[in-house]
Amino acid sequence: MTLEDYFGPRLSQPGYDLFAVFSRFEYAMKRGGFRRTQYPDAAWRTFAGSLPEDFFQSMREADQAKVYFEAPPDHLVATDDGGVDWSGAPHTPNDAASLFQSIKTARNNLFHGDKKHDNNRDTQLMIAALFVLNEAFKKAEASEGFEEFLSAMEFGL
């Protein structure tokens, strides 16, 4: 049995979809001017701050994103004995940047193996993350200053 044969059935289609969308989203951010100055990382806070002001409130009111406000994903913290453990204090998003941070946390938890999988909850988080990313993309399409980002989102095959 290959690793992909083993792991394949353990991840829902929204998980695969999020992997593809999130990867391209970060690539497009970096190519489109939303990159941290000293690092080759996507600048999510800058991207969030460039979206129209109503973006966060519309996500807060959207049923499709409510899991991030009602039961946000927890994050890992370092322990005194050199290990890691759950913080026990997940951060509820209070602006667009922290909403994207919460989505990154859920993505990291799923794809970096930082948690035991609860397929129903994982699927809810992935579907909600895809909704938020799609809505952010729509806002970028309707706004100025995102031209390079939008161009980089095209997947040249």
- Under the banding of pLDDT at 50, 70 and 90, the label for residue 157 is very low
Q: Considering the chain, what percentage of its residues have pLDDT values greater than 70?
A: 95
**Does some domain include residue 109?**
yes
- Cα–Cα distance measured from residue 139 to residue 56, given in angstroms and rounded to the nearest whole number: 11
86: helix, strand or coil:
strand
**pLDDT for res 130:** 98
Whether residue 5 lies inside any domain: the answer is no
Is 10 contained in some domain?
A: no
Determine, yes or no, domain membership for 13. Answer: no
**Residue 104 in domain:** yes
Containing structural domain, residue 119 = 18-153
Q: What is the pLDDT of residue 13?
A: 87
In a domain, 48, yes or no: yes
Picking from 101, 44, 36, the residue whose alpha carbon sits closest to that of residue 75 is 101
| Confidence bin at 33 (pLDDT 50/70/90) | very high
DSSP 8-state secondary structure symbol assigned to residue 91:
P
Structural domain count, the chain: 1
Task: Indicate if the alpha-carbon torsion angle 87, 89, 94, 96 is positive or negative.
Answer: positive
Nearest of 139, 116, 124, 119 to residue 59 by alpha carbon? 139
Does the residue 6 lie in any domain?
A: no
DSSP code per residue over 43-104: -HHHHHHHS-THHHHHHHH-GGGTHHHHSPPP-EEE-TTS-EEE-S-PPPP-SHHHHHHHHH
At 135 the pLDDT is 98
* Mean pLDDT on 38-44: 93
What's the confidence (pLDDT) of residue 111? 77
pLDDT in tens, 91-129: 999 999 999 999 999 998 887 765 666 678 888 999 999
145 falls within a domain = yes
Tokens of 62: 């959207």
pTM of the model: 0.90
